[in-house]
Each structure stands twice: as structure tokens, then as C-alpha cells.
Structure 1
Amino acid sequence: MRLNRMSLGLFIAVAFVAGIIVSPRVHHLIGEAHAQAPAAATLQPMMIDLVALKHGDLPGTPNPEMNSKGLVTSDNATIAIQSGNVAKHNHPKTDEIQYIIEGTGAMWLGNERKEFKPGTLIIIPKGTAHGGSIVTSGPVKAIAIKIPPQPAGDTVFMN
């Protein structure tokens, strides 16, 4: 019985958080960060083979070590595939979730160096330092989810 109550409580908490993430009305109430986000396209059903996408297949970025391609844009979040490395930084207005698909190494997460490997899920609350990876096998390829969509100027590089 205790396990069922705990499972029910966990389910309710996850459902509540999911409702906040997907509710445009809640994001409207949050304010300016949402207003500055890029306009969203209508979502289309699709399947994407992320394993088949290689570093060189992805468009370059201003960071010469990072390639990235946006996959999904909505009013509430963006999802991109990233390959490469970026210096230690934070996002003051955007939460980020990364899922490592390929590559191993260590990166800054807050004030600690944390190891990662394929299958690692990295939760990065807004304002948390991250990046500056030491790659032991790579390039590192990850899915990056930004909530809400990252506004221009929301990357602050750190020493």
C-alpha cells in the first residue's frame, strides 16, 4: 500500500510539473523571458535518427568547437542536437536538460566536475555553470532541451 501511495504521489508531482511546462497560459504569466523567445512553428509529427547524425552533418555555430541543429521549437521549449564542446557558461533565463547520446568525459556542473557517458541525463537549472568539457571519447553528441526557449544574449561565459 505504501508503494502505491508513493507512486501516486510521484505521478501527481510529475504531472504537475509537466502541466507547468506545457501550459502556454502559465508561461504567459511568467513574463518577459517568454515574450523574448523566438516565434514557434507548428509542431509536425516526425521521426529523427539522432544516432545517424554526425558532427560534420550539423551546422556550425559561432563557437568553432560546437555544431548544433534545432529539431523542435514550441512556445514552451526548444530541442536541439549538439555535437562538440563549449566553454564554461550559464543561462540566467533558461533551464537546460541534456541527454548524452555519444561521447564520454567530464564537465563542469555548478562548482563540480562531473563525469558523463552515453545515457547520462544532465539537469541544468537556470544560472548554473556548465560546460568546459574534458572529452575522453568523442565528439560528444547530446540532445539539449531549453525551457523556455533561450532568448538572445542568454549565454554568459565564465572563467
Structure 2
Amino acid sequence: MRQNIMVLSIAVVGAFVAGIAVSPLAQHAISTAHAEQAPLAPAVIDLNTITHAMLPKTPYPELNSKTLVNTENATINLQSGNVNKHIHAKTDEIQYIIEGSGSMWVGGELKEFKPGTLIIIPKGTPHAGAVVANGPVKALAIKIPPQGKDDIAFVN
């Protein structure tokens, strides 16, 4: 009996020490995860000064993009370039054209755009740039809810 109590005491002390050792690592992992969706902070961003070359490259050869706002409800990215025709099954997308002009597929229609154009793309709607008349095209892309990494399917 006394031996069982001693083994239990050692196990409890060992668990306590392990908890203390792991705690900073766990706190760092949690804080890092929350840093990706930090609360909004006041900011002023001059979108006209940001060029295509200044934006990070993406896995899509013609598209550069930078996330400007990331919340649990939506994201806002500054995008420049193009992606082949695709859909987002779970995400609504709203694009506001800042710079450039041309036409893009929205559903089954080719629609013209220019600076100041607002393009509303409900989830499940095929969309893609088709012709750039004056570029590069730079747009704010608002995704509601934030687009998951698996929420893109390319279509013909």
C-alpha cells in the first residue's frame, strides 16, 4: 500500500513538472495561432503606392496577393494579376477594382471592369480574368467568410 502511494506521489509530481515545462511551449503555440487573427488595429494604407511587384507571389503564377485584414468573419486581400477560372464553394467574394481595366468571367457572362467597379461573386459562381486592356489589374478581394485553403476548384 505504502509503495502504491509513493508511486502515485512520484507520478503526480512528474506530471506537475511536465506541465510546467510544456506550459511555455503551449502558450507560445496558442499566441502564435491568435497572432494570425489579431484584433483589428487602426491603420491607413495607401493602396495606390503598392505595385504588383511589391505584393507577395502566390502559388498561381500570374497572381500576387497580400492579406490586409484577417478576421474570423472575413478577409481583405490586395491582389494584382490573374487566376484561371475557378469557384469557391464556401466563400462569397467581392472585388473592388483599384487599377487596370479589362473584362472577366462572372458566371457565364464576360463583364467589363475599370477602376471603381465593384464585382460581386456569390459562392459557387465561376469567375476569372479574361482580357486585360490596361494593367496590371489591382483589386481589393473581400472574402466572406475567409477562404479556406481547400476552397478553390478550377473549372473550364
Report the TM-score, using the length of structure 1 for normalisation: 0.75
Tell me which structure has the larger Cα radius of gyration: 2
TM-superposed deviation, 1:42: 1.2
Does structure 1 residue 71 correspond to structure 2 residue 71? Answer: no
CA deviation vs aligned residue, 1:48-106 (integer Å, no higher than 9, x gap) = 00010000000000111000000000110000100001111110000000000000000
Q: How many residues align?
A: 122
Does structure 1 residue 100 correspond to structure 2 residue 97? Answer: yes
2:154 and 2:38 mapped to 1: Cα distance? 29
2:77 and 2:65 mapped to 1: Cα distance? 7
Q: Does structure 2 conserve the Cα–Cα contact (< 8 Å) formed by 1:40 and 1:73?
A: yes
2:37 and 2:92 mapped to 1: Cα distance? 18
CA deviation vs aligned residue, 1:96-129 (integer Å, no higher than 9, x gap) = 0000000000000000000000000000000001
Q: Does structure 2 conserve the Cα–Cα contact (< 8 Å) formed by 1:86 and 1:133?
A: no
Aligned residue type for 1:111: G
TM-superposed deviation, 1:41: 1.6
Aligned residue type for 2:66: K
1:109 and 1:118 mapped to 2: Cα distance? 17
1:87 and 1:64 mapped to 2: Cα distance? 10
TM-superposed deviation, 1:133: 2.3
Unaligned runs of 5+ in 2: 1-35
Secondary structure of the structure 2 residue equivalent to 1:51 = helix
Identity %: 65
1:89 and 1:65 mapped to 2: Cα distance? 14
2:124 and 2:108 mapped to 1: Cα distance? 12
Report the TM-score, using the length of structure 2 for normalisation: 0.76
Secondary structure of the structure 1 residue equivalent to 2:53 = helix
Pick the aligned partner of 1:138 from 117, 135, 138. 135
Aligned residue type for 1:117: K
Aligned-residue Cα RMSD (Å) equals 1.2
TM-superposed deviation, 1:40: 1.9
1:116 and 1:84 mapped to 2: Cα distance? 14
Pick the aligned partner of 2:116 from 114, 119, 122. 119
1:55 and 1:101 mapped to 2: Cα distance? 12
2:52 and 2:129 mapped to 1: Cα distance? 18
Structure 1 outlier segments of 4+, above 6 Å = none
TM-superposed deviation, 1:46: 0.3
1:72 and 1:123 mapped to 2: Cα distance? 19
Secondary structure of the structure 2 residue equivalent to 1:56 = helix
